[in-house]
Amino acid sequence: MFNSVSPSTAFKRVTLTCTIDCRLLYLLFLFLFLLADSTLYGATWRAGFAKHVITPAEPTWMAGYASRNRPAEGKIGELYAKAMVLEDVNKQRFVLVTLDLISVPHTLRDYLENYVHDQFDLPPASLLINCSHTHCGPEIRTTRWSEDANHSDRLTLARKYVAILKTSLAAVIDSATGRLEPVSLVFCHSRCGFAMNRRTPRGSGFINFPNPEGPVDHDVPVLKFTAADGTIKGIIFGYACHNTTLGIYKFSGDYAGVAQKQLENTYADAIALFVLGCGADINPYPRGTVALAEIHGTTLATSVQAALQTTPTILNEPLDLSYEKVKLKYSPAPSKEELITRSRSSNSYESLHAERLLKQLDQQGHLLTEYNAPVQVIRFGKQLTWIALPGETCVDYSLRLKAELENHKDLGRLWVSGYSNDVFAYLPSRRVLLEGGYEGGGAMKYFTTVLQHGPFASDIEQRIIGKVNQLLQRSSQ
């Protein structure tokens, strides 16, 4: 039998079928291209950035070193509050506020938490506040515990500054929100080496001295935000190291301030935000001069640029945000008799601390037995998990979390930050707590926003890690 369809008709049909198939194929490719393009350049994320100068206009007292005996005498650079507002494909928003300041007092966190709720209907989980912990910023303690009989103007200046600061922080979040625009978002990382552990065994204790054998976390995590036209709009980067190259009487963002400025000079359309990691027991070395702060800042900025040359993880999955408080217990409180003995100590910081505790005991009938500390987890789907811990966070936390979670397939890349949301005391690991020394509990006498008698109970690490795991498990469900 001959085929009833002539060769020319069959050819036409094949051509016609091919034309239809090709069109479908073309449309499919176009769809996939647009999908990929929208994933890379805009449809998945919108982000906005802003920064405000928060350098005090008048010579306030400075924070960070209890031995300072006079107010600031000028500045060698500006201090900034910066904000990044990120919106995912589901219109869920995440706000990051970074501060060139010593601390994030819980009162400041409460204020901003209320502000973003009232203005933008955002829950606490949508807000992360991190401080660079510069020791060349203004004093921001506004409680009665920081009264100093010899310098009565000190508290007044701090209160006046914090009132202005609050207005600035609200304004910087407003500005960033007003600048939301489509962006692509990638994560990458590198390493940077000037951070060295500062706990050196000496005699029966530990001294603050460079210890090359001690643990460090040299990771430099980086988030890069790129607009549809290819310009870099924002860079968020981290490092785990005390921001203490300097101890001078001039305002400065120290190495973290230098790194941010250099990145903003390199990427002219970008705002760079520094997020401090778990660097409570780590210092920059060598240290002590403005030139060294410049060198460390330049080194860190260069490490960020190096990270940007690596193969990035493209982030295109929605946010999953969680934020909860965990109860941290203190060791048994000293008796009144013990406090009276301590109040007669020749060490003026110890005696003043004991006097304040005695006052607390008289006024409240008891000393603090526990503290509610915030723990936050920001998940970018299964591509990146960002854990933000409170307090002056020791490096063991980030090392442990990275070791335990790095092979968890649902968590993706890991970023562990410290100094987030409430910096109420040093947050020692169990090891550091049991070893003792400054970070283990000795520094408690210098914290006055929350007056604490001293060291935490030995289950502190277990409680923090337990809360992180709880938040991770809940977000995985």
The contact set with Zn ion (CB under 5 A) reads: 392
Q: State the Cα–Cα distance between residues 273 and 264, nearest whole angstrom.
A: 10
Q: How far is the CB of 184 from Zn ion (least distance, A)?
A: 36
**220: closest CA among 131, 301, 132?**
301
Which is nearer to Zn ion, 187 or 447 (by Cβ)?
A: 447
Q: How far is the CB of 279 from Zn ion (least distance, A)?
A: 9
Q: How far is the CB of 444 from Zn ion (least distance, A)?
A: 12
Q: State the Cα–Cα distance between residues 456 and 386, nearest whole angstrom.
A: 25
Which residues fall within 8 angstroms of residue 19, CB to CB, at 6 or more apart?
none
Which is nearer to Zn ion, 394 or 472 (by Cβ)?
A: 394
Terminal alpha carbon distance of the chain: 65
Which is nearer to Zn ion, 312 or 440 (by Cβ)?
A: 440
* Whether the Cβ atoms of residue 7 and residue 142 lie closer than 8 Å to each other: no
Longest Cα–Cα distance in the chain: 117
Query: Distance of CA 46 to CAs 161, 171, 177, 222, 242, Å?
Result: 33, 19, 10, 18, 32
Instruction: Give burial (CB, 10 Å; 0-12/13-18/19+) of 123.
Output: middle
Q: How far is the CB of 447 from Zn ion (least distance, A)?
A: 10
Which is nearer to Zn ion, 269 or 435 (by Cβ)?
A: 435
Which is nearer to Zn ion, 87 or 254 (by Cβ)?
A: 254
Q: How far is the CB of 34 from Zn ion (least distance, A)?
A: 49
Q: How far is the CB of 420 from Zn ion (least distance, A)?
A: 14
The residue number with the shortest CB distance to Zn ion is 392
* Whether the Cβ atoms of residue 252 and residue 134 lie closer than 8 Å to each other: yes
Q: How far is the CB of 392 from Zn ion (least distance, A)?
A: 5
Which is nearer to Zn ion, 93 or 287 (by Cβ)?
A: 287
Which is nearer to Zn ion, 131 or 375 (by Cβ)?
A: 131
Secondary structure percentages of the chain, helix, strand, coil, to 5:
35, 25, 35
